[in-house]
Amino acid sequence: MAKKGWKDIPIGGLIEEAGTAKEYKTGSWRTFRPVIDKAKCINCLQCWMHCPDSCIKVKDSKMEGFDYDYCKGCGICASVCPVKCIKMKPDVKQ
């Protein structure tokens, strides 16, 4: 985001657009990344329900994977998964 002068900022510091935090990628906070074994997944969506960062992609009521741009790697998804198909692996460069 480009820096703004005082004339460019709306009165009262209003943020005129909704949901702009999407421009701030929190994925770099992560030390462990969740990895899913889709073969075992039963699409119960417990991971989606309990993700603090809204990082579980769901399409047509099916679990589609993780949004690694924002996932902070807390591991809640792996801990709530009833069939244990999500594993936390060290997030290292391949």
Partner 1 sequence: MANIKELSKIPERLTSGHRLCSGCGASIAVRQVLMGTTSPVVTAAATGCLEVATTIYPYTAWAVPFIHNAFENVAATISGAETAYRALKKKGKITKDIKFVAFGGDGGTYDIGLQSLSGALERGHNFVYVCYDNEAYMNTGIQRSGATPTGASTTTAPAGKVSYGKPQIRKDLTAIVAAHHIPYAAQGCISHWNDLVTKSQKAFAIEGPAFLNVFSPCHRGWRYPQSDTIKIAKLAVETGFWPLIEFENGKWSFTYRPKERKPVVEFLKTQGRFKHLFKEENKPVLGRIQKDIDTHWNYLEKLTQATSA
Q: Would you tell me which residues interact with partner 1 (CB under 8 A)?
A: 1, 4, 13, 15, 17-26, 29-30, 44-46, 48-55, 58, 61, 67, 69-70, 72-76, 78-80, 88
**Residue 90: which residues within 8 A CB-CB, separation 6 or more?**
31, 32, 33
> Residue 93 CB, nearest distance to partner 1 (Å)?
20
Q: Which is nearer to partner 1, 25 or 40 (CB)?
A: 25
Q: Under a CB-based contact definition with an 8 Å cutoff, are residues 53 and 63 in contact?
A: no
Q: Which is nearer to partner 1, 18 or 39 (CB)?
A: 18
Other residues' Cβ atoms within 10 Å of the Cβ of residue 34: 25
